[in-house]
Amino acid sequence: MSHIRQQLREAFAAQVTGLTTSGTDVFQSRIRNMAAADIPGLRVYSEQEQIEDDDVLAVPYLQRRTITIRCEAVAKATANLDDTLDTMCKEVEVAIAANSTLGGLAKLHCSLLSTNIRMDGNSEVPAGMATMTWRVLAYTMSNAPDVAV
């Protein structure tokens, strides 16, 4: 089985695949260059993980993992880029709220921490990206980072 980070990332991506605005263009990579045919689309990746040990005297011991998942909504302007990005963010938020523990992998509900919107009006077709930062809490044992407990 894969690391809990990968499982959470894949579950998040599956939950946001098929949305009205982004459709099936969901990529699990922060470095994926998106072709014009992929936009509008989403990029989902895990960026940071903090681990707190519960009782290191016991072997194995319980680990509390706080994982940051980023979801980037990428769009190009046809009429109003701000509205398109806001719609994409709304769709992601609603989709995650419908299964906020990602199938039970997360111990608590996924929490949206922030949204950062950037625009690039210098290209032939203006483009923008809304980066949503989510906090996901999961527990594993120290000897089984692939099994949520």
Say if strands 41-53 and 26-27 run parallel, antiparallel, or are unpaired: parallel
pLDDT attached to residue 46: 94
CA dist 20 and 36 (Å) reads 18
State the CB neighbour count (10 A cutoff) for residue 18.
Answer: 12
Instruction: Summarize the confidence of residues 114-134 as an average pLDDT.
Output: 85
Q: What is the mean pLDDT of residues 119-126?
A: 69
pTM for this one?
Answer: 0.91
The 10s digit of each residue's pLDDT in 18-67 is 999 888 899 987 776 777 888 899 999 998 999 998 776 778 899 999 99
Q: Record the tokens describing residue 28, joined without a space.
A: 């699990």
Q: What is the mean pLDDT of residues 4-15?
A: 96
pLDDT for 57-108, tens place per residue?
Answer: 778 899 999 999 999 999 987 778 899 999 999 999 999 999 999 999 999 8
Answer whether residue 121 shows pLDDT above 70. Answer: no
Q: What is the reported pLDDT for 29?
A: 79
